[in-house]
Amino acid sequence: MQLTDLTAVQLLDGYRKGEFSPVEATEQTLARARRIQPEVNAFVRLTEEDALARARESTERWRRGEPAGLLDGVPVTVKDILLLRGRPTLRGSKTIAEQGSWDEDAPSVARLREHGAVFLGKTTTPEFGWKGVTDCPLSGITRNPHDPSRTAGGSSGGSAAAVALGAGPLSLGTDGGGSIRIPAAFCGIFGLKPTYGRVPLYPASAFGTLSHAGPMTRDAADAALLLDVVGVPDARDWSALPAAPGSFTESLKGGVRGLRVAYSPSLGGQVAVRPAVAAAVRRTVARLADLGAYVEETDPDLSDPVEAFHTLWFSGAARLTERFSPRKRQLMDPGLREICVQGARYSALEYLAAVDVRMDLGRRMGRFHETFDLLVTPTLPITAFEAGAEVPAGSPHRRWTGWTPFTYPFNLTQQPAATVPVGLDGDGLPVGLQLVAARHRDDLVLRAAHALYEAGAAAPASVTPAGN
């Protein structure tokens, strides 16, 4: 049995029944991680000795029938934006020194540790998570598991590639403009950006309240389980939400019958979607209707807020790097240097005007969800393009936001949004469908996604790891 092919839920069931142990699962997963690394470059570092030590401790707890928590013995990876105690967090940047005590976990990582998870290592990110693809001066290019000449997406590209290839069923990513959903869609896995504050963040992101942390997994059931663990308050994040009223795992059972679903194939004609992507999404929307949802093709009142997003995003980057010396700036990704220069030019009034756009967008989406439980769109209008580029060849856009018009609006509004793998295009590259709900209704997003998995309308895109 290939334990690397199992979900976290399946691994836990096997531990419970004594069919295999956390040590066996960890050994196989580490072997898989080592095998895929040369081709896709998903990891900044593996923490093999620590992983095996935690796996041995977990195996003994399971032998005694005393698991430490909901994820005891499950191999997990962590994007190298989030602090992992005892290991450097370099955030894809040559400007951060490895030396230091590194004696604190991020809130979500601390919760994983409390629940007995096994940390395999840190996954790659572009510098400070600034763009929608994963390459940086520090660790190079992260490639797509389905075609290594293509990008894995970003900024949580290493996490997406690792999960897709069986190097751990669970990963923690971050999403400030699509950074969980973009790579999850490109790599053919499930990714959830929860409601802002559901998963506490510390240190606070330079991109402020645009940035969310959340699960990247093989299916919605694993994401619900992971969110049950990490979606609890932490005193270090003043904007964290209180504990959810119930279990996200329990909320999966409801199905979609009776839910009111708005299907917007192109945000009212604002987005040119490739035919193969549009067809895969439309087929899956029809399955939602077959499962009992009330589906209406309609569009939210949503004009493209990209300029407001740029003002907030580029300003955050400028703030992050404002004290960097000229020598440090020369170590940075050239594209990041560009947006920092632009961000530093915005006035306070321009920043507040962008906040006004954001608040109005939030109001309009709040009203929209008084009528509809869920909004469905493509996650992206395209599939994965060439690795090492910020935008596809021939794109009229200079920045990554030009090809991600379905993702960043919902960072502005702080709504829960997930991507579900719903097929392949003609080149064998995964297509993602996005599910969006009103703020605080993460349960509806997970419920609908789980219904699609249960019905066979969603599944991890099949991929053979390098060396197999």
Tokens matching residue 32: 């898989």
- Mode of pairing for the β-strands spanning 417-424 and 294-297: unpaired
> What pLDDT was estimated at residue 463?
83
φ, ψ of residue 237 in degrees (nearest 5): -115, 105
Between CA 267 and CA 302 the distance in angstroms is 7
> What pLDDT was estimated at residue 467?
53
DSSP-derived 3-state class of residue 170: strand
> What pLDDT was estimated at residue 466?
59
Tokens matching residue 95: 């400007």
Q: Which residues of the chain have pLDDT under 70?
A: 466-468
Indicate the residue type of 466. A
pLDDT in tens, 97-143: 999 889 999 999 999 999 999 999 999 999 999 999 999 999 999 99
> What pLDDT was estimated at residue 32?
98
Between CA 205 and CA 154 the distance in angstroms is 16
> What pLDDT was estimated at residue 464?
76
- CB of 98 within 8 A of CB of 86? no
φ, ψ of residue 430 in degrees (nearest 5): -65, 150
Between CA 197 and CA 255 the distance in angstroms is 26
pLDDT in tens, 31-65: 999 999 999 999 999 999 999 999 999 999 999 99
Between CA 195 and CA 201 the distance in angstroms is 13
Q: So what CATH class is 3-306+347-454?
A: alpha beta
- CB of 88 within 8 A of CB of 98? yes
> What pLDDT was estimated at residue 460?
84
Tokens matching residue 156: 């949580």
Catalytic residues: 79, 155, 179
Instruction: Please give the helix or strand (H or E) that residue 211 lies within, else none.
Output: none
Between CA 53 and CA 50 the distance in angstroms is 5
Q: At what angle do helices 107-114 and 220-230 cross, to 10 degrees?
A: 100
Tokens matching residue 36: 């895929």
